[in-house]
Chains A and B, each alone.
Chain A
Amino acid sequence: MSNPALELVQVRKVFSKKEGSNKRFSRSKREVVALDGVSLSVGRREIFGVLGPNGSGKSTLIRLVSTLLLPDSGMIRVFGHDVVREEATVKRMINRVSVDAAFFKKFSPLENLSYAARLYGLPMREARAWMREILLRLGLPEEAFTQPMEQLSRGMQQKVAVARGFLTSPTLLLLDEPTTGLDPHSKRDVQAFVREIRAEHDATILLTTHDMEEADRLCDRIAIIDKGKIIALDTPVGLKGMVERRNGRSPTLESVFLELTGHPLDEKEVVE
């Protein structure tokens, strides 16, 4: 792939965790391999899914691309810029929506978005108009715009989180389980918005999820990650084809995952 939007080459990340009943005073540590030699390449304007269970390394991957973690080895490039050496340049190109809608809880959606807009150096007149437009398109009622975040439902908070991610018009948007915990209606609103934005803007999207249906519906290609390793990477049709060829049954992404990893997607694993 020439000039990819995102490129990971042999990326490895290991965390040390304290062990024992009293972790504060414990000297014994164990190593948790979050990512183990991950390589992948995402093309411009592609929606690329990373599918895996809890603890498989999805969020670590997103945090590494977001410059919030440093890789132990390997290389990550965003539009050709190294995330470690050219951190400031990369930061201007990306934004992230995570599963936990982290906000100033007493601030309103507009106050939180204004803070984000100023941090990214956006002209406020345009930003104010744009933040209202995004919130309305995501289906957030206008009366919620000025209410404290802590008074909004989980679905509304997540929509504001999605709005914050799109507000800065990132060329690479990192969506870390953006619809987890949302009701089906809110989930559809967010998924529709993701597709609209991709159609309207020159945005590349890296989406992590453990929602098979979401991955199937949104992604051009999907990488299946398990225990920090990518075990398969193809289009949704291609992945299903792998299993179909093996056992002849009509496959779903869930059966693909089970076939490739030997365990179901919702099985709890190592905590990241």
Chain B
Amino acid sequence: MNGFIRELRGAYAFVERNINLIRRYWGWEIVWLIYSLVNSLAVTYIGAGMERISGESLDTQYIITYLLVGTLIWSYLSVIFYSISEMIAWERWEGTIEYTFMAPVSRLTHLVGTTLFAIGYGIIRTLVILLIVAAFFHLDLSGANIGGALLLLLAGSVSFVGLGILAAVLPLLYPERGAQMTNAAAAILLLISGVYYPVATLPDWLQAIASVSPATYVIEGMRGCLLRGVPTGSLLPTVFTLIGAGIGVTAIGLVIFRKVERYAKRTGRLKRSG
């Protein structure tokens, strides 16, 4: 029991630390929020302008909602991905990595704390963007299955936790360039997961890669819920697949992380700050 309480305190250390980082770097937080917001608006306005671009009569409302769902879900999932993948990069930037790795806190606890923060932060941030974007467009979600959409989002979060751990390995392996490499990983997920267009638009070989991205299923399922009101019952196979894949990717991520941590300790890579 004492051990469990100690691990809980350890997990909360990362939640509190990240809240303090937001408080202390609030200027960056505002800049980042404005960037995400403007990005969401810009993408959604493409939908609003589709009739003028094509010169044909289109269901603009459907396209707007289609793009808005993609951009908001991507905003949420990328927050999860970056929060977890940066759990090492932050320590590198601040130079505290050796102290955190020397502390008697397991990497699983480290991850649990970071994930709890990431999910809470991602939800709040996405809701803020949604509220502001909703003021620019008329959104009709009267037939949407909101509960099913949230269920899919949570299930998809588990997978992104695993992907985040895999990306977190990069700053551990490459002190100077690892953080930038995580951006490349996120960009590939954005390209292949059907965030702004149907996956079927992609060439066959990219569609094959898209089929292993959890974001593909989250975004497709969320669009089904929000645009077509797909009932929760028919989402369950996807939900269970996402949770299963998420647990699997997380477990693989932890094993790889552990091996890379040992490699970093063998070669002295914890010492250098990127």
Contacts and interface: CB of A to CB of B under 8 A. Distances in A.
B102 A100 contact: no
Size bracket of the B interface: 20 to 34
Interface stretch (B74-82, B122-130, B265-273): B265-273
Interface string B1-29: 00001110110110011001100110000
Interface in A68-117: 68-70, 88, 91-92, 94-96, 98, 100, 102-107, 111, 114-116
Contacts of A67: 101-102, 265
B113 to A, nearest CB: 9
Interface stretch (B48-56, B62-70, B91-99): B91-99
Interface string B246-274: 00000000000000001001111011000
Nearest to B13: A118
A60 to B, nearest CB: 8
Given A88-B106, A111-B20, A102 B99 contact: yes
Given A118-B10, A118-B16, A119-B13, A91 B94 contact: no
B19 to A, nearest CB: 10
Interface string B166-195: 000000000000000000000000000000
Contacts of B20: 104, 107, 111, 115
Given A15-B267, A69-B268, A70-B262, A102 B102 contact: no
A16 B266 CA distance: 11
B104 interface: yes
B271 A116 contact: no
Instruction: Tell me the interface secondary structure of chain B in the complex.
Output: helix
A15 B103 CA distance: 24
A66 interface: yes
Contact of A105 (B94, B104, B268): B94
A237 B254 CA distance: 51
Interface of B: 5-7, 9-10, 12-13, 16-17, 20-21, 24-25, 94-96, 98-106, 262, 265-268, 270-271
What 10 A-B pairs come out closest when comparing CB atoms? Answer: A121-B6, A118-B13, A106-B24, A91-B104, A119-B103, A102-B95, A92-B104, A121-B9, A119-B13, A70-B265
28 contacts: A66-B102, A67-B101, A68-B102, A69-B266, A88-B104, A91-B102, A95-B102, A100-B95, A102-B95, A102-B99, A103-B94, A104-B17, A104-B94, A105-B94, A106-B24, A115-B17, A115-B20, A116-B99, A118-B9, A118-B16, A119-B100, A119-B104, A120-B10, A120-B104, A121-B5, A121-B7, A121-B105, A124-B9
